[in-house]
Structure 1
Amino acid sequence: MTSNDRHRPRVVVLGAGFAGAAALRELAHADVSVTVVDQHPYNTFRPLLYQVATGGLNPGDVTYPLRHLSARDHARYRRAKVIGIDRDRRQVIVDEGQPIDYDYLIIGIGSTTNHFGIPGAAEHTMSMYTRVDALRVRDAIFGGLEKIAGDSDTGTGSFTVIVVGGGATGVEMAGAIAELKHAMLTPTFPELNPAEVNVILVEMTGALLPPFDRHLQQYALRQLIKRGVDVRLNTAIASVAKDHVELKDGSAVPADLVVWAAGISGYPDSQEWGLPIGKGGRIVIGDDLRVQDQDRIFAVGDTAINPDHPQAQLASPAIQMGQHAARQIVRLTRSESTEPFRYHDRGIMATIGNQSAVVQLSTGQRITGPLAWFAWVALHLWYLLGGRNRVQTLINLAYRYLIWPRQTGVIIGDVIEPPSQRPDD
């Protein structure tokens, strides 16, 4: 640390997801010294992880080096896992190395899978909230296909994927697997009958995509059914075993792989930091995004909740919260009072499959079909970090959706046995 840095307020940003990266960019030209802390050396673009999980993108297409990001925004990167916060000494305690001093702290560590206490869900399902998760799902899918291809002579092979959750992640994942089945199965696995691969989407409520308008929900349902997805609404899960899912109506559904996209919550580790925890394991904040009863600690994005004005756990609120928290820190360094956070709703969108998506703008306009799909592609390319990532993602998505009907271009790695095919522990 230079002597000049010692006279500048020290801002520490925990986590470099949408919220943390937005805060980092906002602070790039402020008169502060910034350190970003994350246990992974890269930023992950979560909205496209399902493309990695179904072989449409490489993991490098949706990740960006944090050292490049931090250097670009005049910050330092510290690879570490946070294990505590000493508010009296104003230090972040990490698993390795010296504590990190701060004058102001922004917590943007994101979220993790919420299994809602359902027996067996944590042990026998796979999620897609990290790069590693997406790769495990991808390898399990192709491992399952390889297994039934090897058993094709007996005529007894089948592979069933159950996607739990009818939100955007679940709908996008189910649609991508269904298209994977129809587009690449015959040319790549000529010995298999597409009917041997089943995709089931389970949603406990009566509609898909809860935040969307009813007409868009119905459109998404029709599109998934058209693609061969077995959509089961008003269906609650009682427990999950390695080879089947038990429903609350007493029935059981065989499953080789269960992908859990039913909900997210705050990281359990943050509950040990002595900060107020609210609904969903999220840190409680006030109107200006400062943690309740804290003057110098902000929490943003999925990890935070204002009980009076809760925000959806989506990219757009996270980005705006990260920017706002950074601006409030600048105001505090100037001895100015903070301002309340106001979310500017620009709309929501989700893709269902090739040239099929739904867009709902804040003005009330609803868009479906190819136009919505191209808007979805353009927006995701815009928010990706790094020019190389944008170009590579554009090439891979174009290859997958525009050329795939004539050629198979799936990206695979190693193959692993899906949970149903693994030996008992």
Structure 2
Amino acid sequence: MQEKHHVVVVGGGFGGLQLVHDLKGAPVRITLIDRRNHHLFQPLLYQVATTILATSEIAWPIRHLYRDRPEVTTLLGEVQGIDRAAKAVTLASGRAIPYDTLVLATGATHAYFGHDEWAHVAPGLKTLEDATTIRRRVLLAFEQAESEEDPARRDALLTFTIIGAGPTGVELAGIIAEMAHRTLPDEFRRIDTRQARVILVEAGPRILPAFAEELSAYAMAELGKLGVEVRTGTPVTDCTAGGVRIGDSFVASCTLVWAAGVQASPAAKWLGIDADRAGRAMVDQDLTAPDNPDAFVIGDTALIKQENGAPVPGIAPAAKQQGAYVARVIRARLDGQPAPGPFRYRHQGSLATIGKRAAIIDFGRIKLKGGLAWWIWGIAHIYFLIGTRSRFAVAWSWLWIYLSGQHSARLITQKEAQRRED
């Protein structure tokens, strides 16, 4: 018997999983490759970093997700390159995985704009490891401040700086401020955690630039109520273990978090095609690589323009739409049917939270803010979680925090604490 058409998907994020889901029942066999064994719900990653959720509540083993799909093979491995002539994916182990159709959904990582040396002192937030690192540093800062005798050093330990005021930066700043000012004060004896400073830095003229100005202004005001210091219009020029330089001004701060930019995976380099400054592969309107119709690039890794000329944003709904579209293209090819028209992105709205009781939602003509927006934001995120257990666990965690003000994931292991002190 002739072997089924082999689809190799690199990346188990939103785009890759949507593609595999939508190919269910198609006459294909699928190999899904990822360098981690889990799918991560990135929109809630900041809540792991800020002690609201546990890692298991927003991540699921990929193998478990496809345990009932015998046509799907999951491989734990890291791609090193692509042999376009042989139509094979090369792994770091040296193994070559041949494909009939290739889909690269390899996402993006942090971009430090030429200052990769800042990564050690200002971690970004893209993985579970990043989230637990940030959580560890935030909690250890309070613990070390409790025993610190030097007032200047104590102030630096109680100063938290978030660089970049997109949704992730705003959400991190709001939750850290709430934790310092409302959750922790009764738990420490030698320090007043309400004296902690949370600084949000944005090089541009306003926070949340992707949102309407009125929503950005509302978020700015809400952050002010939480005690967050917002500095706009001045870029960060240096990051060190002792603090951050904002323009010409130095702020002593022992905990820095980077939320200012991303860099796409090397997919464009693997395929030998052009990329933009962020490394995103410039693909055709059907999401295929130019002159390579058997290779698709989707999600944060791809650059494709909307009808208004703006790039499709690197957010989960866009990746899911692209994964679904590529699945339709593959099905049409296998059925000998005309391919669907060019990919068209349908914007479903932008959402961001400010603390635990306020949010903003921009649906275009409809804009919401405040408590109602927060409830809609929460319902939307719970809906897209995988599995009833995760939905229940996250909903319960949020309800508990909403009613009690207590975060449930404030643990530091001894080994992690020692690593930080070293």
Deviation of residue 273 (structure 1)?
4.7
Alignment-mate amino acid for residue 133 of structure 1: D
Distance 1:418 1:119, change over 3 A: farther
The yes-or-no answer on 1:52 pairing with 2:48 is: yes
The yes-or-no answer on 1:70 pairing with 2:71 is: no
- Look up the match of 1:341: 343
Distance 1:144 1:49, change over 3 A: same
1:295 is paired with a residue of what secondary structure? strand
Deviation of residue 156 (structure 1)?
6.0
- Look up the match of 1:229: 228
Distance 1:154 1:318, change over 3 A: closer
CA contact (8 A) 1:120 1:241 kept: no
- Look up the match of 2:367: 366
CA contact (8 A) 2:139 2:410 kept: no
Distance 1:271 1:61, change over 3 A: same
Deviation of residue 332 (structure 1)?
1.6
Query: Partners of 2:58 and 2:122 in 1: how far apart?
Result: 23
The yes-or-no answer on 1:110 pairing with 2:110 is: no
1:125 is paired with a residue of what secondary structure? coil
Query: Partners of 1:401 and 1:271 in 2: how far apart?
Result: 46
Instruction: Answer with 221-230 or 116-125: which moved more.
Output: 116-125
Name structure 1 gaps, 5 residues minimum.
none
Alignment-mate amino acid for residue 18 of structure 2: A
- Look up the match of 2:118: 121
Q: If the length of structure 1 is used for normalisation, what is the TM-score?
A: 0.92
Deviation of residue 229 (structure 1)?
0.4
**Could you give the per-residue CA deviations for residues 322-342 of structure 1, whole angstroms, max 9, x where no partner exists?**
110111111122233432001
Distance 1:214 1:141, change over 3 A: same
Distance 1:64 1:334, change over 3 A: same
- Look up the match of 1:325: 326
Paired residue for 1:296, among 294, 305, 314?
Answer: 294
- Look up the match of 1:28: 24
Q: How many aligned residue pairs are there?
A: 414
Alignment-mate amino acid for residue 244 of structure 1: G
Query: Partners of 1:188 and 1:275 in 2: how far apart?
Result: 55
Name structure 2 gaps, 5 residues minimum.
none
1:296 is paired with a residue of what secondary structure? strand
Question: Pairwise mapping of residues 69-218 of structure 1 onto structure 2 (< 5 A)?
Answer: 69-73=65-69, 74-96=71-93, 98-118=95-115, 120-151=117-148, 157-158=154-155, 159-218=158-217
Alignment-mate amino acid for residue 189 of structure 2: P
Deviation of residue 183 (structure 1)?
2.2
Distance 1:269 1:300, change over 3 A: closer
1:336 is paired with a residue of what secondary structure? coil
- Look up the match of 1:355: 357
Percent sequence identity over aligned pairs: 32
CA contact (8 A) 2:34 2:76 kept: yes
Coordinate RMSD, CA, aligned? 2.1
CA contact (8 A) 1:179 1:353 kept: yes
Deviation of residue 196 (structure 1)?
3.7
Deviation of residue 28 (structure 1)?
1.3
CA contact (8 A) 2:182 2:194 kept: no
1:349 is paired with a residue of what secondary structure? strand
Instruction: Answer with 390-399 or 181-190: which moved more.
Output: 181-190
Alignment-mate amino acid for residue 177 of structure 2: A
CA contact (8 A) 2:268 2:274 kept: no
- Look up the match of 1:383: 384
- Look up the match of 2:241: 242
Query: Partners of 1:340 and 1:292 in 2: how far apart?
Result: 14
2:145 is paired with a residue of what secondary structure? helix
- Look up the match of 1:283: 281
Query: Partners of 1:168 and 1:408 in 2: how far apart?
Result: 21
Distance 1:116 1:274, change over 3 A: same
